[in-house]
Structure 1
Amino acid sequence: MSVPALRRAIRRRRPRLVCIDCFDTLLLRGADHEEDRIRRLGAAAETALAAEGLEIPRGAFAATRIAASHAVYRSAARTGIEGRLAQMLTLQCLALGIDPVWATLLENVEIEQEARDLRPNRPLAELLRECRREGVPVVAVSDMYLSGNAIARLLEAAGVADCVDRVYASSDHGTSKRQGDLFRLVLAAEGVPAGECLHAGDCRVADFEIPRSRGVAAVRIPRRLVGAVRALRRLSRRFQGEPAHA
């Protein structure tokens, strides 16, 4: 489905609450592999640390960040508790041999890099503004290691902070859309029954199948071309013997 399809669904269902996914839905990424983005982030982080008098080997940031991310993701899969950026950065500082107090600087560098990499989905943003003007609240719901406050900063940087009333991030609440419990939490916090909420996002499972299984109407807004490019790049990495996770 597309943004026009979402518009039709809103007109037809007249929900009391609209939930929207953030990344690859309201905030759009390119088709880069996650590890390519981390390498760009690494260059910026190494420059920022050097400005504070901390020299780390070239490429060390990217390598330790990838390893820390994998460790946090594995823990989340085992415990069911969503990972947080603070966990990743603390592990990374320890791996780099620097004081974890520098995690705050690294977090700011990461948010600034994300802001440079992301662009707004303007047609969707305008539709969400229309919802709010008509008195329908809009909340952003994201399965993401960034905090809700960090995501709000990215929405502000992209010029779409006025599209949403609140942000719910899995990292803040220890549960996710994919698990289903984040939808339950959002509905309780907003005081809206599942049958009067409409959710939209790009992921088939987390943004379509799971909310529908919880009684929430859902519209999928896939990025088919970007998805195809990412799949091809993962396949290419596999043939080259590199890690293939997205």
Structure 2
Amino acid sequence: MVTVRALAVDFGGTLARPGPSPDGATVSQALKDLENTSVPEGFAAAFEDAAREVRQEDRASDIQSPFAEQLARAARACAAVIPDPQAATEAVFTAVPDAFVDARSAETLRRLHASGLVCVLSCNTQRPESVRRRTLRAAGIEDCFDALVLSSVLGFRKPHPRFYDTVVERAGCPAEEIVFVGDTPAKDAIGPYEHGMRAVLIASGPRPEGLPAPVGVIGHFTELPAYLESLDD
């Protein structure tokens, strides 16, 4: 009999439709009304360049630089003045919509959490924890999560081992008693599986090549309860 005590749940593409990334024009507009902040005409283009550089560097080593680093690089490039990076980050991600939570997935999550499973939100994101919590609260699922593991807070992105170590720590049980569910093979299935967790990939179409045999595949998050029940057969 398989013992499952916890779920590690990805966000965008799993529970929600991913939201947009902030572009230079949106960031520039969001910062213009902040006190003591000055963004010149060239800030939008400078931000686009800085964001591209930071993303490339982060992906090369599976780290997650603070969004404020993108703002700081853009500011240096065009002599902008951003005295409060935290307030600036909040302003940007208030202006840029977060992911839209799927109602059916939210209801499924509520049932799974009510059944006694520990649930850990486990996702790569630029957004601060306050913004992601606001999105979860609006969808009525903030209280379904016993812990949040966000790359924006942790400083490491999936599939970095430190990310999975933190998931296991926050779940409060052995890795083999955790089921990691998400929509990206390398980050949400292969990575967790190699780290000792069980994994379920959300995917449409045929089973992706190279996926370890023990990794489950479902078409939608709403199919997860039935999959978990099948583990006991």
TM-score by length of 2: 0.74
Distance 1:75 1:133, change over 3 A: same
> Which residue, out of 42, 53, 69, partners 1:71?
53
**CA distance in 2 between partners of 1:204 and 1:23 (Å):** 14
**CA distance in 1 between partners of 2:137 and 2:150 (Å):** 16
Residue 51 of structure 1 deviates from its aligned partner by 7.1
- Output aligned runs, 1:26-65, within 5 Å: 26-29=15-18, 34=21, 38=23, 42-43=25-26, 45-46=28-29, 48-49=31-32, 54=38, 56-57=40-41, 60-65=42-47
Measured against aligned partners, the alpha-carbon deviations of 1:186-230 in whole angstroms (never above 9, x if no partner) come to: 212332111100111111110111111112111112377xxxxxx
**CA distance in 2 between partners of 1:211 and 1:192 (Å):** 14
Identity of aligned residues (%): 23
| 2:13 matched residue in structure 1 | 24
1:100 is paired with a residue of what secondary structure? Answer: coil
| 1:87 matched residue in structure 2 | 69
| 2:182 matched residue in structure 1 | 201
C-alpha contact (below 8 Å) 2:7/2:180 kept by paired residues: yes
2:94 is paired with a residue of what secondary structure? Answer: helix
2:32 is paired with a residue of what secondary structure? Answer: helix
Measured against aligned partners, the alpha-carbon deviations of 1:69-93 in whole angstroms (never above 9, x if no partner) come to: 2222233345553222121122223
* Residue 136 (structure 1) aligned with residue 136 (structure 2): no
| 1:210 matched residue in structure 2 | 191
**CA distance in 1 between partners of 2:44 and 2:39 (Å):** 14
> Any stretches of 5+ residues in structure 2 without a counterpart?
206-233
**CA distance in 2 between partners of 1:93 and 1:158 (Å):** 35
TM-score by length of 1: 0.70
| 1:156 matched residue in structure 2 | 137
Please tell me the residue identity of whatever aligns with 1:177.
K
C-alpha contact (below 8 Å) 1:212/1:218 kept by paired residues: yes
Measured against aligned partners, the alpha-carbon deviations of 1:36-63 in whole angstroms (never above 9, x if no partner) come to: x525xx2464265057584632xx4442
1:25 is paired with a residue of what secondary structure? Answer: coil
**CA distance in 2 between partners of 1:189 and 1:138 (Å):** 9
2:48 is paired with a residue of what secondary structure? Answer: helix
Measured against aligned partners, the alpha-carbon deviations of 1:120-151 in whole angstroms (never above 9, x if no partner) come to: 12222111111221221111011223333332
Q: How many residues align?
A: 204
* Residue 108 (structure 1) aligned with residue 82 (structure 2): no
Give 1 or 2: higher helix fraction: 1
**CA distance in 2 between partners of 1:67 and 1:156 (Å):** 33
